[in-house]
Structure 1
Amino acid sequence: MDIGVVELSRLQFAMTALYHFLFVPLTLGLSILVAIMETVYVMTDRPIWRQMTKFWGTLFGINFAMGVATGVVMEFQFGMNWSYYSHYVGDVFGAPLAIEGLMAFFLEATFVGLWFFGWDRLSKVGHLVVGWLVAFGSNFSALWILIANGWMQNPVGAEFNPLTMRMEMTSFFEVMFNTVAQAKFVHTVSAGYVTASVFVLGVSAWFLLKGRHVGLARRSIAVASSFGLAAALSVVVLGDESGYDAGLNQKMKLAAIEAMWETEPAPAPFTLVGIPDQQARETKWALHVPYVMGLIGTRSLTEEIPGINQLEEEAERRVRSGLIAYDALMTIQRDREATDRAVMQSFEDHSDDLGYALLLRRYLDDPREATDAQIAQAAEDTIPHVWPIFWAFRIMVGLGFLFIATMGYFFVQSSFRGGRYPTWALRFAVLIIPAPWIAAELGWIVAEYGRQPWTVDGILPTALSVSALSVTELLLTIAGFATFYTVLFLIEIKLLLKYIRKGPTEDVQLTDDWNTAHRARLAPAE
């Protein structure tokens, strides 16, 4: 196989996925925040809340449209760049993807249209119901994508059929309620809520600094900080659940996140900072926090977390076991009708390790001809590049605690300090607007880069999943996608800035009584 094709295919998918995920978190979070604001409007009948709903809803609509446009490309890539992957696991992966398509392009899009064009055609309650349906549709659309992705991380509810040479679903229930998928879903949508909360907080802070739309800005900060604080706290808790699932199902990923080369005595410490050296198999200048990693990865004081070196030894054992399954599979394929029962039993006994034997296809056409050195190399290939995962995880976690502190501060100021915000705090809120996107992208790097060398963990190597394309074709499409996505991203930024500068389209005048009672709160505190 052409490794250049494999790496370029990975680059293209990573690029388009990271671009697409620039739009997803804001859509998830803004849909809920807008629905909350409209709920308050329907309950109180105050025009200011209608103004807030329509203003933030406009920004949601811009982002939603861009997210749909970039998401379409993602699904086409499975057939274009990853044809063998689509053939091998399409019966399993295709089901949640198809459901997501139906929800995103029919249910969700329909309600978005009703929400934007139904202000004067629907009753207040009817329009509110549509708003919540938009929010639920956006979030449940993400659920099905993450069910599909979760299956790639932890392939349950399916088995390999040696006659059809494909993975086949055995339990849709297991695929849908895969613990990895559920943990990824709640963690991802919570991160989206944080993203939208920081966005609303930052834009509102900018309004206060400019002395514009003060009533809208102060109420928006109150909603965003309270919702964002709950979301930021939940991200930490749900991230802990993801760590525990990785300890159960993706031990190599967890060891790489921690740069844990040797198995540590239980409970393992957490490496706060350090310099992973993959060639020397050590982490230099490491600063450890006792017990923390053991509690995250095992929720136990006595259970060990295996290190990278020990997992590599286990991988070599599984490669050798997989070769027995591969040999039996080739015998079955030569004569499907006359296959001896002993051969079928041999395959069944070792079929769980077949994917490890397929790692050898990177080096030779027939894995059964592999030398000991090639088997050892295939086992070493199960170790992802450690330092990007190690640092991406730590920066992401650090940003997560920053969001908790920021939301907590603004929540206290808005709820208990009379809504007075120092100028430095408002400026800081504006400056950190990009931070949640950085954290979200780093989270995807940890999840997806940490799964390598697998497309489907333990089942299908990435190197076997690609289409028969040329390097030239891939370079041209990468250039095309990069140009297209960059243009869309610039359009998104331009439109968002335009409508933020423009402000609310409905001008709501606060009553004299309100102005009198709250005049001292209208200017940011120095």
Structure 2
Amino acid sequence: MVDELVVNLSRAQFAATALYHFLFVPLTLGLSFMMAIMESTYVMTGREIWRKMTLFWGTLFGINFAMGVATGIVMEFQFGMNWAYYSHYVGDVFGAPLAIEGLMAFFLEATFIGLFFFGWDRLSKVGHLVVTWLVALGANFSALWILIANGWMQYPVGAVFNPDTMRMEITDFMAVIFNPVAQAKFVHTVSAGYVTGAVFVFGVSALFLLKGKHIELAKRSMVVAASFGLASALSVVVLGDESGYAATEHQVMKIAAVEAMYHTEPAPAGLSLIAFPRADGSVWELKVPWVLGLITTRSFDTEVPGINELVEHAEVRIANGINAYTAMAALEENREDPVARETIAETWPDLGYALLLKRYRVDIENATPEEIAMAAADTVPDVWPLFWTFRLMVGIGLFFIGFFVFAFWKASTGTLDKHRWFLWGAVAVMPLPWMAAEAGWIIAEYGRQPWAIEGVLPTFYAASSLTVTDLVLSLAFYITVYTILAVIMVILMVKAIKAGPKDYVALLNGEPDPMETPEPKSDLPQSPDSYGDDKAGKPAPAE
């Protein structure tokens, strides 16, 4: 029987490492392209301020990238340590995009990062610009292959069950690459990363203006961030709509759970803004008519199935999957049994549903109708955490559209530094894109439960046979180490921001820093501070 504590601790460990790792990924994606845009402007105009900007934001990118690498490597090892049967059952499929990510994307990015920092005085302007763009492309290629692997877990295409090896094997690698769920997840995720980078650059630049430091760098950085952020925020919403459509095609239960929709509604279904469960099991909700139907089906006449109807469908698939499981047992006794092979060929897509019964009994071919009903009910993820997490994510996304519309307008009129309240607001909202990104991953992964691979392999069946002690100790170790790394990153980032733009290549070579030039004073009111001013509240000497 299943040891639920072992499974839950394994899930908690992977969730903790994934969520920590994803603190660094969005900023890496966003800063990489903004650095490339800034350096492109430097090469085209020859103005030193743009080189200064590229180096400053590149330093923050380098700190974030290093921490992302440190936290990301452990995740891949966990597939073998905590999810041994998962690795055995689908390793031939899942391992391919991860291997390509390491060879094609990670090494590309890591190699050119060194050239980015130490190639300024060794490469031509155009040569160094090419390096910077390759760093940005490497970061995005890395995300692409990881999300192809993750997208296959959400919608396992291009692979079949092989009764001879009792494993899933690739039959169409191009189908794996161009998986519609993976492609929708990729563009949505990287767009969210671009928003994160834009908010970070805008917020730090706003802080510089509030403190009267690095005025020219801050103003130009804010213009780039406002433009890049507006385009990214709009694309997040549009591409999020595409993700919803893809999920409706291939993960209907997730959509029903996100909407707390227990019964199929007449088409087109309405979108719930808020909802609360009643004591009698019904749901009170405030709906916007037609919106859910339009987002998920792109039509006015297609229903979106409710949870109860989907559970009934799961019961049918479980019963069919039992036939596949029985045929597998027959095939183990006689590898040439033609009837068993034919049965497996017809029923293997439902084999994973039959494995849900392993939670209740070992000999699942003898499952009772009550046990089948319980297994079918297990296909429903926890509704209310998904419902509210989704609305948090969407609310933040819509907020940033309005934020960047205002920022872009002020940038276009050259008045970004005229509203102190807006600058403080820009600093205050800096954590929001990380909250939205983490919420998005919770929806994607928690909403897939009870599946490690949608419809193919239950999560509890994929776990390794570890002890509770092993998992508790390793979970505590990972959380401790990752928390230390996160604190170190924050300290390093704060120190780099306080230090301001520096030409670290020149300093390493023992040369004077060409960036140490006086800057014009800001017309914003000055305030005493701990951010570089002396204790009497007087402005620090000009750099």
TM-score, structure 1 length as denominator?
0.96
Cα separation, 1, equivalents of 2:501 and 2:323 = 67
- Alignment match, 1:308: 307
Structure 2: which amino acid aligns with 1:296? Answer: I
- Alignment match, 1:66: 67
Q: 1:256 to 1:281 in 2, by over 3 A?
A: farther
- Alignment match, 1:478: 475
The answer to whether the 8 A contact 1:420-1:525 is kept is no
Cα separation, 2, equivalents of 1:79 and 1:250 = 26
Structure 1: which amino acid aligns with 2:192? Answer: A
Q: Does 1:219 align with 2:220?
A: yes
Q: CA deviation at 1:522?
A: 4.1
Q: CA deviation at 1:388?
A: 0.6
Q: CA deviation at 1:132?
A: 0.2
Alpha carbon RMSD of aligned pairs, Å?
A: 1.6
Q: Does 1:425 align with 2:422?
A: yes
The answer to whether the 8 A contact 1:420-1:524 is kept is no
- Alignment match, 1:465: 462
Q: CA deviation at 1:420?
A: 3.8
Q: CA deviation at 1:523?
A: 2.8
Structure 2: which amino acid aligns with 1:377? Answer: M
Cα separation, 1, equivalents of 2:296 and 2:370 = 32
Q: CA deviation at 1:101?
A: 1.3
- 5 Å-filtered alignment, 1:274-285, equals 274-276=275-277, 281-284=281-284
Q: Does 1:157 align with 2:158?
A: yes
Cα separation, 1, equivalents of 2:423 and 2:390 = 28
Match of 2:19, SS state, is helix
The answer to whether the 8 A contact 2:196-2:434 is kept is yes
Match of 2:123, SS state, is coil
The answer to whether the 8 A contact 1:269-1:288 is kept is yes
Cα separation, 1, equivalents of 2:303 and 2:3 = 39
Structure 2: which amino acid aligns with 1:523? Answer: L
Q: CA deviation at 1:104?
A: 4.3
Cα separation, 2, equivalents of 1:388 and 1:70 = 26
Q: CA deviation at 1:102?
A: 1.3
Q: CA deviation at 1:283?
A: 2.3
The answer to whether the 8 A contact 1:353-1:458 is kept is yes
The answer to whether the 8 A contact 1:208-1:524 is kept is no
- Alignment match, 2:125: 124
- 5 Å-filtered alignment, 1:206-245, equals 206-245=207-246
Can you list the C-alpha shifts for 1:302-332, whole angstroms capped at 9, x where unaligned? 0000000000000011101111111111111
Structure 2: which amino acid aligns with 1:123? Answer: S
Structure 2: which amino acid aligns with 1:282? Answer: S
Q: CA deviation at 1:343?
A: 2.5
Cα separation, 2, equivalents of 1:104 and 1:183 = 19
Structure 2: which amino acid aligns with 1:393? Answer: F
- Alignment match, 1:335: 334
Cα separation, 1, equivalents of 2:174 and 2:125 = 38
391, 402, 408: which one pairs with 1:394?
A: 391
326, 350, 353: which one pairs with 1:353?
A: 350
Can you list the C-alpha shifts for 1:342-398, whole angstroms capped at 9, x where unaligned? 332222222111110000011111211211111100000000000011000000000
Cα separation, 1, equivalents of 2:283 and 2:412 = 45
Paired residues, what number?
Answer: 515
Match of 2:361, SS state, is coil
Cα separation, 2, equivalents of 1:243 and 1:464 = 28
Can you list the C-alpha shifts for 1:480-504, whole angstroms capped at 9, x where unaligned? 0001100000000000000101111
- 5 Å-filtered alignment, 1:62-461, equals 62-276=63-277, 281-284=281-284, 286-337=285-336, 339=337, 341-461=338-458
The answer to whether the 8 A contact 2:4-2:460 is kept is yes
Can you list the C-alpha shifts for 1:75-103, whole angstroms capped at 9, x where unaligned? 00000000100000000000000011113
Structure 2: which amino acid aligns with 1:446? Answer: I
Can you list the C-alpha shifts for 1:22-75, whole angstroms capped at 9, x where unaligned? 000000010000010001011111111111000000000000000000000000
Question: Please, which runs of 5 or more residues in structure 2 have no aligned partner?
Answer: 504-514, 528-543
Q: CA deviation at 1:508?
A: 5.9
Q: 1:276 to 1:108 in 2, by over 3 A?
A: farther
- Alignment match, 2:496: 499
Structure 2: which amino acid aligns with 1:78? Answer: F
The answer to whether the 8 A contact 2:106-2:139 is kept is no
Q: 1:104 to 1:140 in 2, by over 3 A?
A: closer
Structure 1: which amino acid aligns with 2:283? Answer: T
The answer to whether the 8 A contact 1:422-1:524 is kept is no
Q: 1:381 to 1:522 in 2, by over 3 A?
A: same
Which deviates more from structure 2 when the two are superposed, residues 414-423 or residues 312-321? 414-423
Cα separation, 2, equivalents of 1:524 and 1:121 = 42
